């Protein structure tokens, strides 16, 4: 029987007091606590066989090394930093790691993990993309284990999986069972959205969550970096935006060096960084540093002193957007930018006589969604010139904006029936789509809400197989109205882990009880690695969180 790594669960009671509920709570689920035949693997690989044969790992002699025929040699810093990272996770001391052939070996146990990148171009110096090959194969047997992957991105996932297979036996010895795994993600886009505008998130918090994302095989950090409340992005072209729009112009901004650090930290873990600069709504902080960008609101025939969405009738608006997104396209290397486009309040536009006149000239009548579409269309044309693709919230599609064929539509609104209808409509129109509606993790309740999160499937809607193929994944979203550095990580993890398995594992991986046992063990592993992931239910971890 395979041991559950670093996890012992004592079930204290099966009665749960229910507080305020949300749509995700699963009142029927009562866990049956037992070891999973898959140990503590999370997310569950596509194909996995774990035998009862146990091998010892000799810590002083064990090493992770490049296979002889690997296309990524000693010069691949991405892999070698990962070797050190995972050695420390498994054995608690990167200083012990040796890469040379002269290391002392222990013939009675597993001596090394050989990493073999099979494609001529390992992509070691590149950036992950939506088309990256993340597959890998892992074989654990004597005298060594072999991790084969076409690209470095799959190797990173394989290293995480290997580390999850290591456990301590009853005598405290590091052990691993002979194992065969063939693995790849079900969806290409597996994201986490963090909001750094409602509350500023220190860089160390962002980096810690990128690290945790890698432990869960997420591959997209959707950085909702600015919003109405603050503009912490320090622009080289328009420094006054953060100077006037951030909570504090020096302590609560992301400098170019900060952004570069986040992007590289993410790259080394196979994670894309997609920034979101949401317009024309959600832009109050933009207007503090950029004159005439926002629409002046009127009260009757007089200016009210307040401002609404971006002013869509001025040429200066588009001159600004052109310069701004040219900068963004050079700062963020990913091929996609998220342009928002959601929740535009038309009240201010309706009050402004210049806007009303423009509406008449354009023949828009009183339909202000046409004015929104006019703005969005011009913005999309601007971003297209930067050679970037774009993702937009579903309202842009709903308002019939003309979109490029490769536009990604991000679904976030409605209950299950509503978002399933939206997914069907978007894919029937031939567009790729992402799902977030059931995965707004800022919504909390008392009890176990993760089963509802776990059961939501992006392809669960009425449509053809061709439509289903247009669903490229989804994102767990943690909006920041009530979240900052003090509570972000425990609120996000391990609830986001439920989303991670849904987006990675096979469609038929739906056993809630097996998931509970593996996720409980995985949560304890994250705690051991220094991540304050909250508990699923009454239990304990051998290595409790020590705090800061």
Note whether 63 and 94 are within 8 A (CB): no
Using alpha carbons, list the distances in angstroms from residue 150 to 158, 277, 506: 12, 34, 21
Rg for the chain, CA atoms, rounded: 25
Query: How far apart, in Å, are the Cα atoms of 66 and each of 73, 83, 117, 154?
Result: 6, 10, 8, 14
Q: Which of 207, 156, 214 is nearest to 190 (CA)?
A: 214
Range list of H helices, 334-434:
347-351, 353-362, 368-385, 394-398, 416-428
Which DSSP category does 42 fall into? S
Distances (CA, A) of 220 to 31, 35, 163: 31, 31, 22
Evaluate whether 530 touches 544 at the Cβ level (below 8 Å): no
Please report how many Cα atoms fall inside a 13 Å half-sphere around the Cα of residue 380, on the Cβ side. 22
Place of tokens 């994302």: 213
372 is catalytic: no
- Tokens linked to 16: 């749960």
Confirm if 128 and 75 have CB atoms less than 8 A apart: no
- Identify the DSSP state of 375: H
CB neighbours (10 Å) of residue 161? 21
The runs of H, that is alpha helices, within 464-511 are: 465-469, 488-492, 495-504
- Strand pairing of 174-183 and 189-195? unpaired
Catalytic residue among 27, 168, 343, 544: 343
Instruction: Tell me which residue of 491, 471, 475 sits closest to 218, measured CA to CA.
Output: 475
End-to-end CA distance of the chain: 36
Catalytic residues: 343
């Amino acid at each position: 029987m395979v041991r559950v790594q670093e996890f012992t669960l004592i079930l204290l009671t099966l009665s749960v007091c229910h507080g305020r509920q949300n749509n995700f709570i699963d009142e029927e689920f009562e866990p049956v606590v037992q070891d999973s035949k898959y140990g503590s693997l999370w997310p569950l690989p596509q194909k996995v066989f774990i035998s009862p044969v146990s091998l010892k790992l000799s810590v002083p002699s064990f090493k992770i090394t490049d296979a002889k025929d690997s296309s990524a040699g000693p010069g691949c810093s991405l892999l070698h930093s990962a070797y050190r990272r995972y050695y420390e996770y498994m054995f608690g001391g990167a200083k012990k790691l040796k890469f040379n052939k002269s290391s002392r070996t222990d013939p009675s146990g597993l001596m090394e993990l050989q990493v073999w990148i099979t494609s001529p171009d390992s992509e070691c110096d590149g950036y992950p993309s939506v088309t990256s090959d993340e597959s890998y194969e892992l074989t654990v047997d004597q005298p060594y284990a072999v991790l084969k992957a076409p690209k470095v991105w799959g190797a990173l996932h394989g290293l995480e999986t290997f580390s999850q297979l290591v456990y301590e036996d009853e005598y405290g010895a590091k052990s691993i069972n002979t194992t065969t795994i063939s693995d790849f993600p079900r969806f290409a886009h597996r994201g986490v959205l963090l909001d750094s505008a409602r509350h500023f998130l220190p860089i160390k918090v962002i980096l810690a969550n990128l690290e945790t994302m890698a432990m869960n095989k997420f591959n997209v950090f959707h950085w909702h970096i600015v919003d109405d409340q603050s503009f912490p992005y320090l622009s080289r072209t328009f420094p006054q935006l953060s100077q006037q729009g951030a909570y504090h112009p020096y302590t609560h901004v992301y400098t170019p060096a900060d952004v570069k650090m986040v992007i590289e930290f993410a790259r080394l873990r196979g994670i894309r960084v997609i920034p979101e600069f949401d317009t024309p709504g959600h832009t109050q902080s933009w207007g503090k540093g950029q004159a005439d960008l926002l629409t002046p609101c009127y009260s009757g025939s007089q200016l009210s002193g307040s401002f609404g969405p971006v002013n869509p009738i001025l040429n200066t608006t588009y001159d600004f957007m052109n310069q701004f997104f040219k900068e963004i396209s050079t700062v963020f290397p990913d091929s996609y930018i998220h342009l928002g486009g959601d929740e535009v309040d038309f009240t201010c536009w309706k009050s402004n006589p210049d806007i009303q006149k423009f509406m008449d000239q354009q023949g828009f009548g009183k339909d202000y969604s046409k004015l929104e579409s006019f703005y969005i269309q011009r913005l999309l044309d601007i971003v297209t010139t930067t050679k970037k693709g774009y993702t937009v919230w579903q309202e842009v599609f709903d308002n019939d904006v003309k979109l490029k064929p490769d536009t990604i539509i991000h679904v976030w609104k409605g209950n299950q029936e509503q978002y399933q209808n939206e997914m069907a409509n978007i894919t029937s129109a031939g567009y790729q789509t992402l799902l977030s509606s059931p995965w707004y993790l800022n919504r909390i309740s008392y009890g176990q809400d993760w089963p509802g999160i776990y059961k939501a499937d992006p392809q669960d809607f009425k449509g053809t197989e061709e439509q289903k193929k247009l669903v490229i994944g989804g994102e767990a979203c943690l909006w920041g109205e009530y979240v900052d550095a003090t509570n972000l990580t425990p609120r996000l993890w391990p609830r986001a882990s439920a989303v991670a398995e849904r987006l990675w594992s096979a469609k038929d991986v739906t056993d809630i009880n097996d998931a509970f046992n593996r996720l409980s063990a995985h949560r304890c592993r994250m705690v051991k690695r220094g991540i304050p992931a909250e508990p699923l239910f009454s239990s304990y971890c051998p290595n409790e969180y020590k705090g800061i």
